[in-house]
Amino acid sequence: MEVEHIREIEKNKYMNLFRRQNVCFERGQGSTLYDTAGHAYTDFFGGIAVNSLGYNHPDLVKAISEQAGKLIHISNLYYNRPQAELIDKLVGDTFDKAFLCNSGAEANECAIKIVRKLAHEKGNGKTTIITAKESFHGRTLATVTATGQEKYSAPFSPLPDGFKYVPFNNLDALKSALTDDVGAIMLECIQGESGVMPATYDYLVGAYAYAKQKGVLLILDEVQTGSGRTGSFYAFEHYGIKPDIVTLAKGLGGGVPIGCCLARGEAGTAFAPGDHGTTFGGNPLACAAANVVVDKLLNTNMLDEITELGEYLKNSLSEKLSRHKFVLDIRGKGLLYGVQLDERIPVASIVGKMLSLGYVIGTCGHNTLRFAPPYVITRAEIDGMTDKLEMILSGINI
């Protein structure tokens, strides 16, 4: 099928939801994507932080192929080995229970329902969940309401009640919001969609302390930051805390859709049979893929490599871009970084220029360029990308 025909079908028959770049990718290898004309592009966006092992990784392809030849799906009415293997690894010594689903939004829905179920069981009225302004927790009705950005939720009112919003990295505001109706605090270690905004150490540790003091759950949405993205398996490990609930998705399956809600203590035992469920979640194919990703992260030196590559990426961005006065900030951790530009420079135009030069990068809030490459990215590829980005920025006069 020719690209023009593909575009025409999309234009006429797909819901008008995405602002697509004018390229059709056909295959990939390592950190490189190839379009239908055979042009190569180095990927620094990773399918929005999803393709953790890059493209055509031999171990991932082998596991998916072998599992597809055995069993793709049954249902959660029966046991399956890949699922048991995966939850054993994810629960580990930190959590007590896991629920597998298909996406980050579903994982966050599970976390929200745990809070409501506990409040219902206890009859204590603690149904309210505090989230941060400029957060992002998903596209379902509940998770888009939990998201602290009205641009995502306003078109879908009336919205579910039971959420209140506080400024991110403001511990005093969080403390003031902890009224008697609050059952949980739900935060991101790094707010990805709003501009790659890391939580400060004092803020996240303080939130953990306040949650313990008030007897409320601390939920950490690690859909984007988990599964190794920041150089630890969970980003909360950098803060030395242990949340009650953590949600994962994106990079967990290396490109195969899978999400997970992990819980400990009373949060892990809140559900009874029939309270929650999923048809596709935790199917053998998705779990076989996730097992490969988790094994790479836990049983090789990949986490150390992510940390080292992240430092290299940060230094390369800083050394080449900081001289430009319109580069307002460079922030992030591991292989998740944002470069915030002056509002007079539309980041979408930079993305388009980089694509024409053979590099895939992304955007997020506050006019920020976002970088979330596969974990197999190389230093040479980082140098090539930052050289081209610096060349583009050097041609801008404001």
Q: Which residues are catalytic?
A: 136, 221, 250
Question: How many whole angstroms separate alpha carbon 258 and alpha carbon 206?
Answer: 31
Q: CA-CA distance, 178 to 176, in Å (whole number)? A: 6
Reading the block at residue 313, the tokens are 């990426």
Rounded to whole angstroms, how far apart are CA atoms 227 and 148? 24
Q: How far apart are CA 114 and CA 217, in angstroms?
A: 10
Angle between helices 284-299 and 302-321 (to 10 degrees): 80
8 A C-beta contact, residue 340 and residue 191: no
List, in order, residues 6 or more apart from 357 with CB less than 8 Å away: 388, 392
Provide the pairing of β-strand 245-248 with 259-263.
antiparallel
Tally the residues of the chain. 398
The dihedrals phi and psi of 278, each to the nearest 5 degrees, come to -160, 145
Burial pattern 318-339, b for ≥16 Cβ within 10 A else e, equals eebbeebebbeebbbbbbbbbb
**Token pair for 250:** 């994106």
Q: Could you tell me which residues are beta bridge partners of residue 47? A: none
Would you call 140 exposed, middle or buried from its count of C-beta atoms within 10 A (0-12, 13-18, 19+)? middle
Distance CA 228, CA 336 (A): 10
Three-state secondary-structure class, residue 307: helix
Cα separation of 42 and 20, whole Å?
18
Within 10 A of 300 (CB to CB), how many other CB atoms are there?
10
